Amino acid sequence: MTTIADPKAPRPSRPGPTRRSTHGNTEMVAWLFMRVSGVILVVLIFGHLFVNLVQGEGINAIDFGFVAGKWASPFWQVWDLLMLWLAMIHGANGVRTIISDYAEKDSTRIVLKSLLYVATVVVIVLGTLVIFTFDPCPPNSPTDLLPSFCER
Amino acid sequence: MTATAEAPAPEVGAVPSFEVTLKIRRFLPSDDAIPTFGEPFEAEPRWDEFRVTVHGTDRVLDALHKIKWEHDGSLTFRRSCAHGICGSDAMRINGRNRLACKTLLKDLDPSKPIVVEPIKGLPVVKDLVVDMEPFFASYREIMPFLITTGTEPTKERLQSPQQRERFDDTTKCILCAACTSSCPVFWTDGQYFGPAAIVNAHRFIFDSRDEGGAQRLEILNDKEGVWRCRTTFNCTEACPRGIEVTKAIQEVKRAMITRAF
């Protein structure tokens, strides 16, 4: 005769790690950041596209001198810095949630997330460095390519 | 001269009958806790096809009954009330989570086989029966009962129709798990609370008589709480009671944001 398990016996606890409480609002802050940065990015990116591609001579105006001239102004330095940081963190957080949703194995998740974080930090640091250390008038370059304010 | 005169006129009020093929996912995974009554354990799920004659008024559940009673008694599924109230017979029918007792066969294109699978994301016990324990564990965690402080009033706790209206939608839940098992986040991460638990938390968070809202919001503010919702609306589409599940989840998110700032 086969015996069956007592249906009223206390159940074993759930398989897998129990739910960890995260104490703090990391996920809420991340969720909120996505919304807020998204709205700001719409303004920043469309402003960027308009100034670079539409205004004045449009796309034909873009050359070394144009970019160098923009980055000589603190306004565009802050604009591009904000765009870089917000877009990178927004994008990285989006990919982080996708990895959390789809990578089932812990090892896969750790590898993918490490790659993501390293790539994000490298791009943010490099980009910030370029915006603030950019030399609009490199010595010994043809003067017709440089912005107008460079001394000959 | 036509043949219509000789053909017997259809009886008034007669229900047309037709043939339908059901393609059912069968599985008996190896588990020492479950008696098999002589059936062998299986390593892999398989598909069984059954052809039955049904009536235009029949539901998928009627076809399953016909199969179990007349073709293969080993077919296993859950049902209790069979009228869309108990929430026992949620299953994946033609790729969508529905109640077998609320889905008419004639609405499902009977010319093609009707595919019936167990709901996804929960371990299969046998055939269409899944282990609902992870689902109910999440439900218990949000404390689905009235929490109050102070002395109990001598009469009932009063509430205006407007206050009742605030959470009316989420009181309709029958805990069938159609929403939770349609959620792609729940499929890959069984730790996620799932839509049903959040709906039932919503039912108490927005109840003017309840005082445990802050505690429930704290529980759902977890890493695996409401913030894992990706707003795919699968749950709203799956709900056999027509609850606006995604909307309820968003309202809980909003309550958390307004509480924090």
Interface of B with A in 114-143 (CB under 8 A): 133-134, 137, 141
Q: Where in chain B is the domain with CATH 3.10.20.30?
A: 17-130
pLDDT at position B37 is: 63
Q: Domains in chain A, ordered, with CATH?
A: 34-145 (1.20.1300.10)
Where residue B79 falls among pLDDT bands split at 50, 70, 90? Answer: very high
Nearest to B13 by CA among B54, B66, B59, B55: B55
Superfamily of chain region B17-130: Beta-grasp domain (3.10.20.30)
Where residue B1 falls among pLDDT bands split at 50, 70, 90? Answer: very low
State the DSSP code for A111: H
When CB atoms are compared, the residue of A11, A30, A31 closest to B133 is A11
Is ipTM over 0.85? no
Count CB atoms within 10 A of the CB of residue B225.
28
End-to-end, the C-alpha distance of chain A in Å comes to 101
Sign of CA dihedral A85, A87, A90, A96: negative
Based on its alpha-carbon atoms, the radius of gyration of chain A, rounded to whole angstroms, reads 25
| B257/A14 touch (CB, cutoff 8 Å), yes or no | no
Where residue A79 falls among pLDDT bands split at 50, 70, 90? Answer: very high
| A27/B257 touch (CB, cutoff 8 Å), yes or no | no
Q: pTM above the 0.90 mark?
A: no
State the DSSP code for B80: S
Q: Please, what is the average pLDDT of chain B?
A: 90
Q: Any CB–CB contact under 8 A between A100 and chain B?
A: yes
The arrangement of secondary structure in B133-153+160-260, i.e. its CATH architecture, is Orthogonal Bundle (1.10)
Residue B188 pLDDT > 80: yes
| Residues B199, B178: Cα–Cα separation, whole Å | 13
pLDDT at position A21 is: 53
**Tens digit of each residue's pLDDT (9 = 90 or more) over A124-140:** 999 999 998 888 888 87
When CB atoms are compared, the residue of A19, A30, A32 closest to B224 is A19
Bridge partner list, B59: B104
When CB atoms are compared, the residue of B188, B224, B257 closest to A104 is B188
For A104, the closest chain B residue by CA position comes to B188
Which residue type is seen at B221?
N
Cite the DSSP H helix spans in chain B: 60-66, 133-141, 161-166, 184-188, 195-205, 213-220, 234-238, 245-260
Which residue type is seen at B227?
W
| A101/B185 touch (CB, cutoff 8 Å), yes or no | yes
Residue B211 pLDDT > 80: yes
State the DSSP code for B59: B
Residue B44 pLDDT > 90: no
Range B124-143 average pLDDT: 93
pLDDT at position A152 is: 58
| A101/B37 touch (CB, cutoff 8 Å), yes or no | no
Percentage, residues of chain A above pLDDT 70? 84
pLDDT at position B199 is: 97
Q: Where in chain B is the domain with CATH 1.10.1060.10?
A: 133-153+160-260
When CB atoms are compared, the residue of A11, A14, A27 closest to B223 is A27
| A16/B184 touch (CB, cutoff 8 Å), yes or no | no
Residue B32 pLDDT > 80: no
State the DSSP code for A148: T
How would DSSP label each residue in B105-140?
GGGG-TTSPEEEEPPTTS-EEETTEE--HHHHHHHH
| A14/B137 touch (CB, cutoff 8 Å), yes or no | yes
Q: Please, what is the average pLDDT of chain A?
A: 85
For B253, the closest chain A residue by CA position comes to A28
**Tens digit of each residue's pLDDT (9 = 90 or more) over B58-69:** 999 999 999 999
pLDDT at position A17 is: 46
Q: Collect all residues with Cβ–Cβ distance below 8 Å to B237 and sequence separation of at least 6.
A: B96, B182
Left, alpha or beta for A23 (phi > 0: left; psi -120 to 50: alpha)? left
Q: What are the chain A neighbours of B222 within 8 Å (beta carbons)? A: 19, 21-22, 27
pLDDT at position B40 is: 65
Q: Any CB–CB contact under 8 A between A152 and chain B?
A: no
